[in-house]
Amino acid sequence: MTNKIKVLIVDDTVIYRKILKDVVSEIDNTEVIGTAPNGEIALRKIESEMPDLVLLDVEMPVKDGLETLVELKAKYPDIGAIMVSGVNERQASITMEALQKGAIDFVPKPIGKNINANIEALRNSLTPIISLFQTKKIITSVRRGQAIVSSPPLTEVKAPIAPIIRKTPEAVKTLSFVSAPNPKRADILVIGVSTGGPNALAKLIPDIPADLNVPILIVQHMPPTFTKSLANHLNSKSNIPVYEAEDGQQIEKNKVYIAPGGKHMIATRKEGQAVIAITDTEPVNSCKPSVDVLYESIPTVYNANVMSVMMTGMGSDGMNGVKYLKRTGCYSITQSEDSCVVYGMPRAVDEAGLADETVHLDKLASRVYQLVKNGIK
């Protein structure tokens, strides 16, 4: 068996099929086996060609991306799907639903006027997702005892960690690390999450009871528009209100605030009240919003009484933030490797020795509630 990924591209626009085909063909160990202009034709090609991965446009005639995805996962659950979405609110909302129905991830269609820049943006978005899918396919094949041609040994198969490109605050850069004692209580819960996050948050947030009695601030790596749709989806099924955060918004107990895509979110004080500030500074760790940016703002407002949860995601954004929080006092939880879509961000925290405990996603809500209500011991 070869480890080359067979990809089917589905989009109702000829030019986008061509662009996606060119981009995917340039990714190592991929092979575009065909294209389709709508979901109905795509499903026929899937039956005959059996691709490993399908790129699905969200809005198409005859049978759209969501309908196609539902049928695809029902018939062929092992075939992966990546949604290729426009960036208006309707398409973002459909994309959030698609993620909950089994899509691996999504990439937004760039809307810039420079075609070369748009192609480069698609390449940068698709390459790590397809590489991750390929890695998981290799691991699954090895575990099933199938032969792999020219595949890396299992010990080398890891989810890719993005290079760290950040301006580290002087406090992090110059001081030797000394961890403060764990706090006795948590006055705020901060969460960092990326790839696999929408589904993980859809499990975590609705399971948290309404009387948690602390605010929750979340950085989910996502572009603009999609974070609002994520907040709306979570809000519709949760015991506590979920918002896309706004500049100047007061931070209140029993409410969830998600950093808006394309901006950073920090906590600050205004007239004695804890409030959110939304900033438009440079990306950190190539991320905007960045977990580190949020985390490094927290001690000035909440001192040592902080709980951090680092969840599924590529890269290491948030590791320096946890380290920063640990200097004043922070109880650090990471999502367990076996329950992560990508064990990247939690792994960075674990391997830095910054995690106080690791918890499976299914038990995360109850564990957080227990620690907040009963105190940290």
Q: What is the CATH number of the domain that holds 176?
A: 3.40.50.180
Nearest alpha carbon to residue 349 among 220, 203, 195, 192? 192
d(CA 258, CA 74): 32
What number is the average pLDDT over the span 79-84? 94
Are residue 214 and residue 324 in the same domain, yes or no? Answer: yes
Q: Which of 48-52, 165-169, 247-251 has the lowest mean pLDDT?
A: 165-169
- Please report whether residue 315 resides in a domain: yes
Question: pLDDT above 70 covers what percent of the chain?
Answer: 88
- Please report whether residue 161 resides in a domain: no
Domain carrying residue 260: 170-374
Are residue 354 and residue 225 in the same domain, yes or no? Answer: yes
Q: Which of 57-61, 172-176, 181-185 has the lowest mean pLDDT?
A: 172-176
304: confidence class by pLDDT, cuts 50, 70, 90: very high
What is the model's pLDDT at position 181? 86
Which stretch of DSSP H or E encloses residue 105?
A: strand 105-108
- Please report whether residue 163 resides in a domain: no
Are residue 69 and residue 192 in the same domain, yes or no? Answer: no
Are residue 281 and residue 195 in the same domain, yes or no? Answer: yes
Are residue 206 and residue 92 in the same domain, yes or no? Answer: no
d(CA 7, CA 21): 9
What number is the average pLDDT over the span 166-195? 71
**Which amino acid belongs to residue 342?**
V
Are residue 193 and residue 218 in the same domain, yes or no? Answer: yes
What is the model's pLDDT at position 210? 95
What is the model's pLDDT at position 174? 36
Among 93, 194, 336, 339, the one annotated catalytic: 194
Among 131, 221, 229, 308, the one annotated catalytic: 221
**Count of domains forming the chain:** 2
Look over the chain and give the mean of its residue pLDDT values, rounded to a whole number.
Answer: 87
- Please report whether residue 186 resides in a domain: yes
Nearest-Å Rg of the Cα atoms of the chain is 21
What number is the average pLDDT over the span 87-105? 90
Are residue 69 and residue 184 in the same domain, yes or no? Answer: no
- Judge whether residue 138 has pLDDT over 50: yes
In this structure, which long-range contacts are made by residues 131-137, counting pairs with CB atoms below 8 Å and at least 24 apart in sequence?
A: 131/27, 131/28, 131/160, 132/159, 132/160, 132/195, 132/314, 132/342, 133/5, 133/52, 133/53, 133/80, 133/82, 133/104, 134/3, 134/5, 134/29, 134/30, 135/159, 135/160, 137/3, 137/5, 137/52
DSSP single-letter state for residue 176 = P
Are residue 226 and residue 302 in the same domain, yes or no? Answer: yes
- Please report whether residue 287 resides in a domain: yes
- Please report whether residue 165 resides in a domain: no
Nearest alpha carbon to residue 192 among 32, 329, 322, 354? 322
d(CA 218, CA 213): 16
Using a cut of 0.75, tell me whether the model's pTM lies above it: yes
Domain boundary among 121, 155, 189: 155
Are residue 106 and residue 212 in the same domain, yes or no? Answer: no
87: confidence class by pLDDT, cuts 50, 70, 90: confident
- Judge whether residue 146 has pLDDT over 70: no
CB-CB contact of 104 with 133 (8 Å): yes
Among 57, 187, 317, 350, the one annotated catalytic: 317
- Judge whether residue 20 has pLDDT over 80: yes
Are residue 138 and residue 178 in the same domain, yes or no? Answer: no
d(CA 49, CA 47): 6
Known catalytic residue at 78: no
- Judge whether residue 170 has pLDDT over 50: no
d(CA 189, CA 216): 5
- Please report whether residue 164 resides in a domain: no
d(CA 19, CA 199): 29
Helix, strand and coil content of the chain, in percent to the nearest 5, comes to: 40, 20, 40
Domain boundary among 126, 155, 184: 155
Domain boundary among 122, 155, 188: 155
Q: Which of 31-40, 93-102, 126-135, 351-360 has the lowest mean pLDDT?
A: 126-135
What is the model's pLDDT at position 132? 83
What torsion, rounded to 10 degrees, do the Cα atoms 10, 12, 17, 20 define? Answer: -60
Known catalytic residue at 317: yes
139: confidence class by pLDDT, cuts 50, 70, 90: low
d(CA 21, CA 74): 26
2: confidence class by pLDDT, cuts 50, 70, 90: low
Are residue 141 and residue 179 in the same domain, yes or no? Answer: no
Q: Which positions ≥6 away from 144 have C-beta within 8 Å?
A: none
CATH of the domain at 49: 3.40.50.2300
Known catalytic residue at 264: no
Are residue 345 and residue 200 in the same domain, yes or no? Answer: yes
What is the model's pLDDT at position 136? 73
